[in-house]
Amino acid sequence: MSEHVYIQDVALRDGLQNQPHPVGTADKLALAWSLFDAGIKNIEVTSFVNPKAVPQMADAQALTESLFAYLSTERPNIHTDQLSALVPNLHGYKAATRAGYRQLAVVIATTDAFNLKNLNRTTHDVLQGLTELYMIARTDSVTLHTHLSGAMGCPYKGPIDPEVVVRLAESLLRSGAEHFMIADTIGAGTPRLARQIIKDLLSLVDPDHLGLHLHDTRGMGIAIAQAGLDLGIRRFDSSSGGLGGCPFAPGATGNIATEDLVYLCEQQGLHTGISLEGLYETVLFAERITHQSLGGKVMHWMRSQKRGCLQI
């Protein structure tokens, strides 16, 4: 049996949070169903944040209630424990756990400037807040995945020394962190830089507790994913159609496209359990509800095949 790669699709959260056209709850639910039809079982559904800061996430509670109810009756093979949400603080944590989430993403950036823009707190203050969350989550048996945001570049301070990422991870480990996602929030990374950061962090944590959250702003996302696979990383965030962008990171584009990541993995004998044909339909639907053209390289190739274009 081939080795499994754990892919979490973040189109519903990271993909929609910065969209100029509001996407209704019913369309979000339909997008989730399409993702499930494509074989995706792990989805980052929403974020429990201030709706004034991120209006697209204002329906977090309503979306979660509808989605969980749907799963309980229509999708018994998908457990709510496989779904996650992002929370910025204790208030968000309490709302998300009350809603039923047992897996959550928390964020800390590599610079004060980014933390102040994203969370309105300094790095020191964010770290203190996370220390409290780790203790509470351990008591509640809730898994927290800590995203090291701007790990390969800050939108306000520029390049980041890998040593900064290592020191931050060490501080977080002392505070109780267990699971990390290296987040190239603005797509500033390269395979060489990624390999250095991954190797450094693998000296601190088990590879099963380390993943990659990649944006494709400069076209390096899938190459960095390959570097991660080569080093044993088997957990990734991606977004169907490359949908996404960060409202607090000017110039950042969407995550690496789920269809590109699935193709990369499957062509190397790694199992994802996700259907490219199913993702094709998902991307078409996402285009309709966001009023934009979407798709990674594989999506463009699949379109050409369906049009019967000659490949040379």
DSSP letters along 176-194, please? T--EEEEEETTS---HHHH
248: nearest Cα among 53, 9, 47, 16: 53
User: What share of the chain has pLDDT > 70, as a percent?
Assistant: 95
CA 48 distance to own-chain centroid? 15
The answer to whether position 311 is within a domain reads no
- Please enumerate in sequence order all residues whose Cβ is within 8 A of that of 166, keeping only pairs 6 or more positions apart, or say none: 197, 200, 201, 204
Task: For the chain, give the mean pLDDT.
Answer: 94
The answer to whether position 86 is within a domain reads yes
pLDDT the model gives residue 45: 98
The answer to whether position 56 is within a domain reads yes
Distance CA 292, CA 175 (A): 42
- Measured over the CA atoms of residue 283, residue 285, residue 289 and residue 293, the dihedral's sign is positive
Q: Which of the four pLDDT bands, split at 50, 70 and 90, describes residue 21?
A: confident
Domain holding 244: CATH number? 3.20.20.70
Residues 157-162: contacts with CB under 8 Å, at least 24 apart: 157/111, 157/113, 157/114, 159/188, 160/110, 160/111, 162/193, 162/196, 162/197, 162/200
Distance CA 81, CA 42 (A): 9
The answer to whether position 100 is within a domain reads yes
Give 131's Cβ-side CA count (13 Å radius).
11
In this model, does residue 72 exceed pLDDT 50?
A: yes
In this model, does residue 308 exceed pLDDT 90?
A: no
What is the tens place of the pLDDT at every residue in 110-156?
999 999 999 999 999 999 999 999 999 999 999 999 999 999 999 99
Count of CB atoms within 10 A of residue 91's CB? Answer: 12
pLDDT the model gives residue 310: 46
What is the tens place of the pLDDT at every residue in 211-222?
999 999 999 999
> Is 246 one of the annotated active-site residues of the chain?
yes
Q: Which helix (H) or strand (E) holds 119?
A: helix 112-119
Q: Could you say which of 154, 246, 265, 309 is catalytic?
A: 246
The answer to whether position 280 is within a domain reads yes
The answer to whether position 63 is within a domain reads yes
103: nearest Cα among 240, 192, 215, 6: 6
- Please enumerate in sequence order all residues whose Cβ is within 8 A of that of 119, keeping only pairs 6 or more positions apart, or say none: 88, 89, 107, 109, 126
pLDDT the model gives residue 251: 53
Three-class SS of 44-69 = EEEECCCCCCCHHHCCHHHHHHHHHH
The amino acid at residue 248 is F
pLDDT the model gives residue 20: 85
The amino acid at residue 112 is D
pLDDT the model gives residue 160: 97
- DSSP state, residue 142: -
Q: How many domains does the chain have?
A: 1
What is the tens place of the pLDDT at every residue in 232-254?
999 999 999 999 865 555 555 68
In this model, does residue 176 exceed pLDDT 90?
A: yes
The answer to whether position 312 is within a domain reads no
Contact predicate 240/259, CB 8 Å: yes
Contact predicate 250/215, CB 8 Å: no
pLDDT the model gives residue 192: 98
The answer to whether position 64 is within a domain reads yes
Q: Could you list the residue range(s) of the whole structural domain that residue 154 is in?
A: 6-306
